[in-house]
């Protein structure tokens, strides 16, 4: 098995491409080892000292490191853990993942979710992350940043200049976009 790696806009996060399907449906984000119980692969990656986040996409895995660690040391350990786990045929995730629920909510929420699903999520997935709709209240869209997008220095610019401008253009009810804190 050959696993490619790519940098992401977030210097603390690397994208690993194993050349095979990782998630059959949806995505999964684990911000801490304690949350990783649904994913044997994420649990395995959190065993690497210095890994502080794991995001699983359709055909990629992103790992986020703590500030005090260096990718030169961590990258071979993460590559080895992914290769060993996938080569042994162990499951990536057990149980169900969250569905996108694109068609649920008010008319405005459905429009927001549809734009996020078709225009935003594919673009941010290329950078090893995801953006999930959280809520729409009083003209404000709340989004959750996951994977490489979580903690990325350019995520505020992506939200404000990219996503906010697009949503305002197509949906007049949208006045602002904010990250979920």
pLDDT in tens, 18-47: 999 998 888 889 989 999 999 999 999 999
Q: What is the pLDDT along the chain (181 residues), one digit of tens a residue?
A: 789 999 988 899 999 999 999 988 888 899 899 999 999 999 999 999 999 999 998 899 999 999 999 999 999 999 999 999 999 999 999 876 554 555 567 889 999 988 888 888 878 888 888 888 999 999 999 998 888 777 777 777 778 888 899 999 999 999 999 988 7
- Does residue 112 share a domain with residue 82? no
Q: Which stretches does DSSP call E strand in 11-166?
A: 13-17, 28-30, 51-56, 61-65, 129-137, 140-147
Q: Which of 54, 87, 120 is the last residue of a domain?
A: 87
pLDDT at 101 (0 to 100): 56
pLDDT at 98: 52
Question: Residue 159 domain-assigned?
Answer: yes
Same structural domain, 74 and 130 = no
What's residue 161's pLDDT?
81
Write down the pTM of the prediction: 0.75
Instruction: Give domain status of residue 129, yes or no.
Output: yes
Residue 117 lies in a domain: yes
Co-location of 9 and 82 in the same domain:
yes
**Who's near 69: CB < 8 A, 6+ residues apart?**
49, 50
Instruction: Say if 124 falls within a structural domain.
Output: yes
Q: What is residue 135's predicted lDDT score, i.e. its pLDDT?
A: 93
Whether residue 123 sits in one domain with residue 57: no
Judgement on whether residues 77 and 30 belong to the same structural domain of the protein: yes
Range of the domain at 41: 4-87
* Same domain flag for 27 and 73: yes
Based on the domain organization, do 152 and 77 belong to the same domain?
no
In a domain, residue 96? The reply is: no
CATH of the domain at 35: 3.30.1370.70
* Residue where one domain finishes, among candidates 87, 115, 147: 87
Write down the pLDDT at residue 105: 75
CATH of the domain at 129: 3.30.300.130
**Same domain (yes/no): 75, 111:** no
Cβ contacts of residue 62 below 8 Å, gap of 6+?
8, 13, 14, 15, 16, 53, 54, 55, 128, 129, 147, 148
Cα-flanking dihedrals φ and ψ of residue 173, to 5°? Answer: -70, -20
Overall domain count for the chain:
2
Same structural domain, 113 and 156: yes
Domain contains 99: no
Are 156 and 81 within one domain?
A: no
């Amino acid at each position: 098995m050959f696993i490619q790696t790519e940098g992401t806009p977030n210097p603390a996060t690397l994208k690993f491409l194993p050349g095979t399907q990782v998630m059959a449906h949806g995505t999964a984000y684990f911000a801490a080892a304690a949350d990783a119980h649904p994913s044997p692969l994420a649990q395995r990656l959190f065993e690497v000292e210095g890994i502080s986040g794991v995001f699983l996409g359709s055909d990629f895995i992103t790992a986020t490191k703590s500030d005090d660690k260096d990718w030169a040391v961590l990258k071979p350990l993460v590559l080895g853990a992914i290769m060993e786990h996938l080569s042994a045929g162990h499951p990536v995730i057990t149980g169900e993942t969250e569905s996108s629920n694109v068609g649920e909510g008010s008319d405005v929420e459905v429009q927001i979710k549809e734009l996020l699903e078709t225009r935003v999520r594919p673009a941010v997935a290329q950078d090893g992350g995801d953006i999930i709709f959280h809520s729409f209240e009083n003209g404000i869209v709340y989004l959750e940043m996951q994977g490489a997008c979580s903690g990325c220095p350019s995520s505020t610019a992506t939200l404000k200049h990219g996503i906010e401008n697009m949503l305002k253009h197509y949906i007049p009810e949208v006045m602002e976009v904010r990250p979920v804190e």
